[in-house]
Amino acid sequence: MNNLPNCPQCNSEYTYEDGNIYICPECAHEWSMDTNAVSAEEVKVIRDANGNILQDGDTITVIKDLKVKGSSLVVKVGTKVKNIRLVEGDHDIDCKIDGIGAMKLKSEFVKKA
């Protein structure tokens, strides 16, 4: 019936086509139809300080006071951050923190809420 490939990130069977890409409704992963078989090295798994896998849209809690570079502001321990977005690079979380604004965080200083 459904001959679409399972999601390479979460192995969901509910993928669908949108133009020339496949989309997973469960984890929001998108990949090209040209590369049906995505190798394990291409899918980077980002984990929090406790080893839990983080995904786009998760809520996290800061586990260490973090100084904001170029400012006197500090992100305090226990600050909750909703609706994160995972990105490539040294700072692998993009988010907005109330009272501070747009920030990039390292996953090693947060835990999944």
107: three-class secondary structure by DSSP? helix
31: three-class secondary structure by DSSP? strand
Per-residue pLDDT of 6-57, as tens digits, reads: 888 888 888 988 888 888 888 888 888 775 454 444 567 899 999 999 999 9
- Cα–Cα distance, 43 to 94 (Å, whole number): 18
- Partners of 96 in the beta sheet? 102
- Report angle CA 60, 96, 67 to the nearest 5 degrees: 80
Global model pTM greater than 0.85: no
Per-residue pLDDT of 53-99, as tens digits, reads: 999 999 999 999 999 998 999 999 999 999 999 998 889 999 999 98
